[in-house]
Amino acid sequence: MQHRLSNRISGIEKSATYDIFDMVRNLRTQGASILDLGGGEPDFSTPPHITEAAVAALSEGFTHYTPSRGIPELLEALSEKLAKDNGIHAEAVSDIIVTPSAKHALYICFLSVLDPGDEILVPTPSWVSYGAMAQLAGARPVPVPLAADQGFRLSRDRLERQVSGATKAIVVNTPNNPTGHVLDEDEARDIAEFAAAHDLFVISDEIYEKIRYGGARHLSPASLPSCADRTLTVNGFSKGYAMTGWRLGYVAGPAGVIGDVLKAQQHTVGCAGSFVQRGALAALTGPQEPVQDMADEYAARRKLVVDGLNALPGVSCSAPGGAFYAFADIRGTGFDDSAEFATWLLTTAGVAVTPGTAFGPGGEGHVRLSFATSRDVIEQALDRVGAALAARS
């Protein structure tokens, strides 16, 4: 058979982050010593009280389908969390859907909001999957270039330059992967005014909410009155609670929109895992100290990695306000091409990083180093990068 696949799937690239996961695994299988600063996943185990709640659910036979929206007690806990942490009013019965991963929440939002021919504004650099998800929905991702020397902030001007009659939505990510930028008040106001002026949906990805530094405040666009009825807020448990393998997220928004997004959930996955939702309930209602402890450890690693990078010849890196990535400018090393730099580093020094271009054209000249790994690995990796750069000069 001639396998002629859909234009939709042929038109997207594989995920750069998953490619790096696979590459690291393969090289290690072949015996190579690889220090992995590629993948963005906490090295911590899920706090035990969360795991115990899921195990108890399994043991008591809580192993069936749940309502598509999620179990009522988790929806209630999320409604309270959104009010308390985010200033978002979301009714448990109508305004929230629990999804198997934030990724799936984003996907069903994109599918629900975008038609073929529509455009969605995607800041660049930004996370690897927004553009592909837009394309899977038949829509066109339109890059909004951000500037490194302006701290990768969005502005009304930058947005106005890319908007057209076909623009339907804008995606925002705070704290940001890969830049670490945390949305500030002026920026949020700009986005809200812009979205209202052009009647756009705002899809706000807040998966790194719990990981912030130096007192940076988390601001949810949906908490702004002018944005509340046009914003879909996506969040999840992967990063803050170290629950990547559990695959649990959620989306909150106006009842009229969420009721329709639910159709995409019902017809694709049905519901999130039953016992996984019990774990998430324990995460939200149990002690929050483990979350703070992990965030404190990321803060120590952030200093280590940022100081270490700035001590390297030709490399500069500003301290991220949130998330667990350092987005380093490598243009002074003699490499202009970030993919070439990442390949060179992996093959000569055994250090895996993600090239900035994985995050769109706006990431060129940079590489992303994840510090969701131990201080020991970070120190060794910095030594290896330093030695490789020195040997080259």
Binding-site ranges for ligand GLU (CB under 6 A) = 15, 17, 39-41, 127-129, 177
According to CB under 6 A, which residues from 123 to 162 bind ligand PMP?
A: 127
Residue 39 contact partner, candidates ligand GLU, ligand PMP, none, CB within 5 to 8 A by sort of partner: ligand GLU
Q: How far is the CB of 21 from ligand GLU (least distance, A)?
A: 7
- Judged by CB under 6 A, does residue 173 bind ligand PMP? yes
Residue 138 contact partner, candidates ligand GLU, ligand PMP, none, CB within 5 to 8 A by sort of partner: none
Among 141, 249, 279, 350, binds ligand PMP (CB under 6 A): 249
Choose between 18 and 164: whose C-beta lies nearer to ligand GLU.
Answer: 18
Phi then psi dihedrals of residue 46, to 5 deg: -60, 135
Choose between 112 and 333: whose C-beta lies nearer to ligand PMP.
Answer: 112
Q: How far is the CB of 264 from ligand PMP (least distance, A)?
A: 16
- Judged by CB under 6 A, does residue 212 bind ligand PMP? no
Residue 249 contact partner, candidates ligand PMP, ligand GLU, none, CB within 5 to 8 A by sort of partner: ligand PMP
Site string for ligand PMP, 191-210 (x = CB under 6 A): --------------x-x---
Q: How far is the CB of 156 from ligand PMP (least distance, A)?
A: 23
Among 16, 20, 40, 349, binds ligand PMP (CB under 6 A): 40
Choose between 20 and 219: whose C-beta lies nearer to ligand GLU.
Answer: 20
Site residues, ligand PMP (CB under 6 A): 40, 101-103, 127, 173, 177, 205, 207, 236, 238, 244, 249
